[in-house]
Amino acid sequence: MQILKKTELKAFEKAKKLGPLNVIKILKEKGLVGRGGAAFPAGIKWEFALNAKADEKFVICNADEGEPGTFKDKFIIKNNPETLIEGILIAAYTIKAKQAFVYLRGEYEYLAGNLKKAISKVLKKAKCNVKIDIIVGAGAYICGEETATIESIEGFRGQPYVKPPFPPAEGLFGKPTIINNVETLANVPQAVLFDDWDKDLRLYSLSGNITKPGVYELTVGYKLSELVKLAKPKNNVKAIYFGCSGGCMPYSDIELTLENVCGKNCAIGAFSIIIVDEKQSIVNIAELISKFYEHESCGKCTPCREGTKRIHDLIKKIKSGKANREDMNTLIDLAENIHKTSLCGLGQTSTTHLLTALRYFKDEFEEKLR
């Protein structure tokens, strides 16, 4: 696997020889984009932070991998922490930061010990005066949203705020900050060091009703039918969920590119693929996911705080067979409005699963109506 290649601080040494501007140039030319789901070009983000004037800057490694069905960052932290840390060091060197944080989700606390050891080892070997501290979260999906991460580290409730200012201009403690996901940062040393680094290799997290779940490194645009073959499903596959936020589509053979998945009104995000078989009820899954969003809504903006609760209530009503057509219309209306009016990505994507389920599996909902 490309992601497991060791760089042994050679990329860090090379970066120091190249200088910040050339590091950014390499990242841009090689096309490294964020692997947390939003696919923002890393080089551009770093350039903003480099150009921002301040006496202090920060790097945050976002290890708050909370999207259901996603576990590839855990895989990297377990299997190649040294390269991840080297990526953090290159980021710190490039924007001239002296302090970095790894925001590790509370559910992964058991990884903190080994990660800390790896940090000490790499810092000692690199002989640089950057500090890397691990901040362990405490169970909040929203804290993966970059402004919520910042709030959480600063000691506030992990609630997002309206951008701008964007973190590279004004982030942690009001200082320019780059926040990159684990997979992004682990790719940095490899992009810097290796000529044959392939930007299109991604870590797919495969789970669901399958016998071969796990992390697979495959190219962007991998055929879904081939992927399902690798996953060895237990029964006939009915639907594919792209995490919870990415929505669902009926199983069909497409190439998994951002555009193709978008064409199905879904989002491939962090390449989390949950394979759901014919024995599962889409209405049950919709109820489950809407419960998840009701619980994880941070409570800051009204459409998401109130809307996720109403959506959950309405789906429960449909599930119990007490809902009528008017309830269905209210549900669709609400789902569209929450998507359009929520403050952050959590609210905006909280109804994608429902809107896509209603588009592709409407019969299952209608069967339950009074």
Partner 1 sequence: MSKITGLLLPILRKEQKKKGYISESALKKISKKTKIPISRVYGVATFYSMLHTKKQGKNIIYVCDSISCHINGSENIVNYLEVRLKTNKRFSLHKTSCIGCCDEAPAMLLNGKAYTKLTREKIDGILKKCKY
Residues near partner 1 (CB under 8 A) are: 65-71, 74, 99, 105-110, 131, 133, 135-141, 152-158, 173, 205-209, 213-215, 241, 244, 274, 276, 280, 285, 288-289, 292, 295-296, 298
- Kindly give the interhelix angle for 325-341 and 352-360, rounded to the nearest 10 degrees: 140
DSSP string, 298-367: -S-SHHHHHHHHHHHHHHHHHHTT---HHHHHHHHHHHHHHHHH-SSHHHHHTTHHHHHHHHH-HHHHHT
Shortest Å distance, C-beta 208 to partner 1: 6
**DSSP state, 162?**
P
Smallest separation, CB 251 to partner 1 (Å): 15
Closer residue to partner 1 in complex, CB, 13/313 = 313
Instruction: Give the separation between CA 272 and CA 61, rounded to whole angstroms.
Output: 20
Whether the Cβ atoms of residue 341 and residue 305 lie closer than 8 Å to each other: no
Contact indicator for 253, 290 with CB cutoff of 8 Å: no
Q: Please tell me whether residue 77 adopts helix, strand or coil conformation.
A: helix
Cβ proximity to partner 1: between 3 and 23 the closer is 3
Least distance from partner 1 to the Cβ atom of residue 83, Å: 20
For the bound state, the minimum distance from the C-beta of residue 333 to partner 1, rounded and expressed in Å, comes to: 25
Closest CB to partner 1 among residues 82, 287: 287
Q: Which is nearer to partner 1, 193 or 311 (CB)?
A: 311
- Return the number of the residue (43 or 176) whose C-beta is nearest partner 1: 176
**Residue 249, beta-bridge partner list:** 240
Q: Which is nearer to partner 1, 30 or 72 (CB)?
A: 72
The nearest distance, CB 263 to partner 1, in angstroms, is 23
Cβ neighbour number for residue 109 with a 10 Å cutoff: 13
Q: Which is nearer to partner 1, 43 or 246 (CB)?
A: 246
* Lookup result for tokens 């190649």: 80
Nearer to partner 1, 31 or 113 (CB): 113
Q: What angle do CA 77, 150, 103 make, to 5 degrees?
A: 15
The CB-of-86 to partner 1 minimum distance in angstroms stands at: 21
Least Å from the CB of residue 358 to partner 1: 17
Question: What three-state secondary structure class fits 35?
Answer: coil
Q: Any alpha helices (H) in 52-177, and if so which ranges?
A: 72-79, 81-95, 112-126, 146-154
Rounded Cα gap, residues 173 and 339, in angstroms: 30
Q: How far is the CB of 31 from partner 1 (least distance, A)?
A: 27
Pick 12 or 108: Cβ nearer partner 1:
108
Smallest gap from Cβ 219 to partner 1, in A, equals 20
Report helix angle 81-95 to 182-193, nearest 10: 80
Instruction: Measure CA 39 to chain center.
Output: 10
293 close to 244: Cβ distance less than 8 angstroms = yes
